[in-house]
Structure 1
Amino acid sequence: MDTTVPTIRFDQNGECNFCEMHDVMEARYPLDERGKAELDRLVADIKKAGEGKKYDVICGTSGGRDSTWTLLLACKTLGLRPLAVHFDNGWNSAIAVSNVHNACEILDIDLETYVADWDEFRDIQHAFLKASTPDVEVPTDVAIHTVMHKLAVKEGVKYIFNGHSFRTEGIAPKDWTYMDGRYIRDVQETFGTVPIKDFQNFNLWDYLKFHFIHRVKVVPILNYFPYDKRVVDKKIQAELGWRNYGGHHHESTYTKFIQSYLLPRKFHVDKRRTENSAMIRSGYMTREEALDGVKDIYPYDPTLIGYVAEKFNLTVDQFNELVDRPVKSFRDYKSYYPLIRLMKLPIDIASRLGIIPRLLYLKFLG
């Protein structure tokens, strides 16, 4: 991580705020007896909440490494009964679809697939390209989050497993990835051509409703485990027939285009920096290996440009004109961020009391 990240800052010892956040997460999820004891208590609570119900937990699955590993841990290691949930936004790779079905069949778990309205969803994605911010894949992230919460309420499930690990993926700077429902709505109203109707948005009321009324908890389950990707790959390949699709989050062709082409070339955002930094701190990579891994610009498949343009019903020239628009930020649009800033003190207090994760304060207000 370096000064290409707008919100980075260094203390008197030359240590950056992202290392501070990593330290907070390591303290919160220690890989020792304390962490094991907390995990045991958590699993006991999940099983108790699932008594008399068909499922214990909701797990999102994309066919990627993280979500496939989450399913394997939930079933085989923790002895839980998950409902796997897949969000189909129209960009799935064939390998990802195969990975999803193989995992669910081998583990003998139910799969619920939510298929987005393609015309509406494509229009929202198109609007984000016009908005010219790095958050072009945020609609997908928000929609799967909403779908899982709604299914949790429908099935009476109190827990959702999040397949993100800070030890391998790091902590995304808010200027690289920012999401909230008001932001999505404003971008769509500004640049979209159809009103939001079926899109699964997640606004402030949804957060309050699911968190405080329905008491649904999102658990970053991978944080409780060591996560050496080489070891994980071998396990999910051997046990679930998982196949690699060539790069982190490349299970979706659109995400592959975003991470390999759009972000590094338009926004100078290379997510290998956050990932490699996390793996240095977690002991899975040396600093020299990490630097060597980002010395060249992210490689990409040139045929992706034509493929993505065609999916948006655009010529390559029209698409390139869209990509070449001046760079903007989420701050250029309406969002909940001003409210978050206004609530800085109570959010700080709530995070210190453990009511909300401390990381949220450090990332957005620290």
Structure 2
Amino acid sequence: MKDYQVCTNCVMDTTDTKITFDENGVCDHCLDFEQNVQPNWHTDERGKHELDAIVSKIKKDGEGRDFDCIMGMSGGADSSYLLHVMVKEYGLRPLVFHVDGGWNSDVAVHNINVMIDKLGLDLFTEVINWEEMKDFQLTFLKSNLPNIDIPQDHAFVATLYDFADKYKIKYILNGGNISTECIRNPLEWLYYGTDMALIKDLRKQFSTNPMKTYPFSSVLRHKFYLRYIKKVQVIKPLNYFPYIKTEAVKFLQDEYSWKAPAQKHFESRFTKFYEGYWLPKKFGYDTRKVQLSSLIVTGQMSRDEALKILEKPAISEEEAKHEFEFVANKLEIPVEELYAYFNQPNKTYKDYKNQESLFDFGAKILKFIGVERSIKR
């Protein structure tokens, strides 16, 4: 086992077991950003011109249609700010949808409503069958894998592409961005949520529900078939202009009475429980290190500020107790059963059937053709 070490530039450390450091103690996450991402990331006039051209094409292709693009809305800062910019500043007409997996926080509901109301948009909401979602989440809890949030993530991705296919929309606006997400979660922390071999193996072992309506989607369907055969394009507009998280949040608060979640992804009650307590306490993986490191390398936060934040847990033991009760009650299991899952031996995706080799091959192809600049996980 490696001796504990933390990067001298960001706050990534050896809880990422694949991390490496150069002679100055700078980690490969930072070096990957510096060498592969930053040189190809343009938020100046060049980026503006590129985005202007993309928007013009979206508008032209959308003539005569009710919507010219589609985007999902979670209630978080990235999707909220993206919606504002694309509608108010660029005049796009998105089909806005939200996937309700049963775990919306009050903050998320508020944020979605104020944005939709003030922008005068319609919201399409897809409600996932709760009995299926509940069974799927219990399946992941029983698996002892780190990423027990796959049931929510998979439903969101699959529904996004289903909506695009159903309404024949060729452009998906995505709030993913380099500014706050350039450092990626290590694969051992958050494994691919669309690995159908893994999902089928887990369901075979632990599921009790046939899940006839849950929106499953394989990576080949949305990464290859819909993208290259049906020509559905994913656009990430926040990468084409300066996106400063604190400024965006302040703007949303002032303009829309928007409320900031306590932490990135905490607009979901289950994700708050999972990323705030379950993942760091059971597995030692604190996703704040990834989030804060992204802000450090993009100049939005100092390393000292990030280290100060990490001195305290995302969720206190007292708050965690309430979260355990809330999640157990929602899943209709005794709290003791949830604690039992928490205390079981940890496993990794390698303990189950998986398609890691397929994902690796696909990532290398995407990097080769220039779709992705980095494959560091």
Give RMSD over aligned pairs: 1.8
> Matched residue of 1:230: which SS?
helix
Using the alignment, how far apart are the partners of 1:18 and 1:49 within structure 2? 38
Conserved in 2, the CA contact under 8 Å of 1:57 and 1:83? yes
The equivalent residue for 1:293 is 309
Indicate whether 1:218 and 2:234 are aligned: yes
Using the alignment, how far apart are the partners of 1:112 and 1:292 within structure 2? 40
Indicate whether 1:192 and 2:199 are aligned: no
Indicate whether 1:20 and 2:49 are aligned: no
The equivalent residue for 1:312 is 331
Equivalent residue letter for 1:174: L
Runs of 4+ in 1 over 3 A off after TM superposition: 11-15, 347-350
Greater RCO between the two (CA within 8 Å, min separation 6)?
2
Using the alignment, how far apart are the partners of 2:271 and 2:365 within structure 1? 36
Q: 1:118 to 1:45 in 2, by over 3 A?
A: same
How far the C-alpha of 1:83 sits from its partner, in A, is 1.2
**Structure 2 regions of 5+ residues with no counterpart?**
1-11
The equivalent residue for 1:338 is 357
> Matched residue of 1:113: which SS?
strand
Indicate whether 1:227 and 2:238 are aligned: no
Equivalences for residues 73-84 of structure 1 within 5 A = 73-84=85-96
> Matched residue of 1:363: which SS?
coil
Using the alignment, how far apart are the partners of 1:204 and 1:316 within structure 2? 35
Indicate whether 1:128 and 2:140 are aligned: yes
The equivalent residue for 2:15 is 4
Equivalences for residues 1-366 of structure 1 within 5 A = 1-23=12-34, 24-169=36-181, 170-179=183-192, 180-182=194-196, 183-207=198-222, 208-300=224-316, 301=319, 302-341=321-360, 343=361, 348=364, 350-354=366-370, 356-359=371-374, 362-363=375-376
Which range moves more in the overlay, 106-115 or 198-207?
Answer: 198-207
Q: 1:299 to 1:204 in 2, by over 3 A?
A: closer
**What is the number of residues matched between the two proteins?**
358
Deviations 1:334-362 (A, max 9, x none): 22213344x37xx53552232x4232xx2
> Matched residue of 2:116: which SS?
helix
Conserved in 1, the CA contact under 8 Å of 2:44 and 2:240? no
Q: 1:12 to 1:45 in 2, by over 3 A?
A: farther
Which range moves more in the overlay, 176-185 or 255-264?
Answer: 176-185
Conserved in 1, the CA contact under 8 Å of 2:44 and 2:241? no
Aligned-pair identity in percent equals 37
Using the alignment, how far apart are the partners of 1:69 and 1:87 within structure 2? 18
Equivalent residue letter for 2:53: R
How far the C-alpha of 1:203 sits from its partner, in A, is 0.7
How far the C-alpha of 1:12 sits from its partner, in A, is 4.6
Deviations 1:35-91 (A, max 9, x none): 222212211222122122111211111111121111111111222111111000011
Conserved in 2, the CA contact under 8 Å of 1:92 and 1:252? yes
Deviations 1:2-61 (A, max 9, x none): 111122122455432212332323233222222222212211222122122111211111
How far the C-alpha of 1:285 sits from its partner, in A, is 0.7
Equivalent residue letter for 1:45: K
Conserved in 2, the CA contact under 8 Å of 1:159 and 1:218? yes
How far the C-alpha of 1:103 sits from its partner, in A, is 0.6
**Structure 1 regions of 5+ residues with no counterpart?**
none
Deviations 1:182-233 (A, max 9, x none): 1223222221111232111121441222112211111222222323222111
> Matched residue of 1:109: which SS?
coil
Which range moves more in the overlay, 258-267 or 146-155?
Answer: 146-155
Deviations 1:82-109 (A, max 9, x none): 1111000011112211211111111111
Q: 1:205 to 1:271 in 2, by over 3 A?
A: closer
Using the alignment, how far apart are the partners of 2:82 and 2:201 within structure 1? 34
Using the alignment, how far apart are the partners of 2:60 and 2:210 within structure 1? 42
> Matched residue of 2:146: which SS?
coil
